[in-house]
């Protein structure tokens, strides 16, 4: 679905604005990497899914309930780490040696301990990667005590806006006047959104639930007025709730790309949702 150019740019630079930076890695040759390094990061571009991993602390679990993915678009590396989203800036030289400026990760708590274990092991290994190559259509990332093997991820159809359970993943602030990208905040509590084929909209802000009516017109969403429950929230949840309702209650624009729903309100603030499995 078409959206303004700024919407797309804010999506592709989401990782650079997140609050939590991981440790950057040095660059080193890895004799175990084997032949055939890809000269630049452009040769690695694509959607990849982890199928095998070894990290400094042992095997990287491959969860049944979620996938671990890596999307490479030039120097932008991002993906899903079993529960949270991550991203950062990475360069690859002509010998396939990797230099990671830093990764950033959303801070959503995962109720499934197995997912958290897989995520921690994967991100720990990823930050130690110093070599990248493509071997027999597999992407192989290696480093000291690290080997991560990925296969191409089949394109994912866009999730249906209506009838999908959407989980709130991040809050977008209004972009600054200087043209730089807006700040991105992690989500507190369990917040979500559902649109029904009867013209209904309902969900949670992370504290209170809301409901109302919605109309769709192209990439525009007209919702409200929204009725909410009256549970008292702490200051942080109150600010989040105000943000969510400010974006949803009224006219906004939306984009669905694969399993991601981005909604931008009239004042420039936005919401990023993920489709629940």
pLDDT tens, position by position, 156-176: 789 999 999 999 988 999 888
Query: Could you give the 3-state DSSP secondary structure of residue 28?
Result: coil
pLDDT, residue 101, reads 85
Residues 80-104 have pLDDT tens digits of 998 888 999 999 998 899 999 888 8
pTM check: above 0.95:
no
Burial of 228 per CB tally in 10 Å (0-12, 13-18, 19+): middle
* 35 Cβ neighbours under 8 A, 6+ residues apart: none
Q: What is the assigned CATH class of domain 157-275?
A: mainly beta
Same fold, 11-152 and 157-275: yes
pLDDT, residue 277, reads 72
What H or E segment, with its residue span, contains residue 13?
none
Query: Under CATH, which architecture does the 11-152 domain have?
Result: Beta Barrel (2.40)
Domain regions of the chain by residue span = 11-152, 157-275
Q: Averaged in consecutive runs of 10 residues, what is the pLDDT profile of the chain (277 residues)?
A: 37 36 31 38 83 95 90 92 90 92 79 88 96 92 97 86 94 82 81 97 97 97 95 95 96 92 94 89
């Amino acid at each position: 679905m078409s959206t303004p150019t700024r919407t797309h740019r804010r999506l592709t630079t989401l990782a650079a604005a997140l609050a939590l930076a991981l440790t950057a890695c040095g660059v080193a040759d890895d004799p175990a990497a084997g032949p055939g390094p890809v000269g630049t990061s452009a040769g690695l571009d694509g959607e990849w899914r982890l199928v095998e991993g070894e990290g400094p602390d042992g095997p990287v679990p491959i969860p049944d309930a979620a996938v671990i993915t890596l999307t490479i678009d030039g120097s932008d590396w991002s993906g899903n780490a079993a529960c949270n989203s991550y991203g950062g800036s990475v360069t690859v030289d002509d010998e396939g040696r990797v230099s990671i400026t830093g990764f950033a990760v959303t801070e959503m708590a995962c109720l499934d301990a197995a997912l958290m274990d897989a995520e921690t092991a994967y991100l720990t290994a990823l930050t130690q990667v110093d070599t990248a190559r493509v071997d027999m259509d597999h992407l192989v990332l290696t480093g000291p005590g690290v080997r991560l093997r990925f296969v191409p991820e089949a394109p994912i159809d866009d999730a249906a806006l209506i009838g999908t359970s959407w989980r709130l993943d991040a809050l977008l602030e209004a972009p600054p006047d200087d043209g730089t990208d807006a700040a991105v905040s992690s989500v507190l509590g369990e917040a979500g959104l559902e649109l029904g084929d009867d013209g209904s909209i309902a969900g949670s802000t992370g504290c209170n639930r809301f409901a109302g009516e919605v109309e769709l017109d192209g990439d525009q969403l007209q919702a409200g007025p929204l009725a909410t429950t009256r549970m008292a929230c702490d200051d942080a949840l109150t600010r989040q709730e105000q943000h969510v309702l400010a974006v949803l209650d009224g006219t906004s624009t939306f984009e669905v790309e694969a399993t991601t729903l981005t909604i931008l309100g009239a004042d420039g603030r936005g919401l990023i949702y993920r489709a629940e499995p």
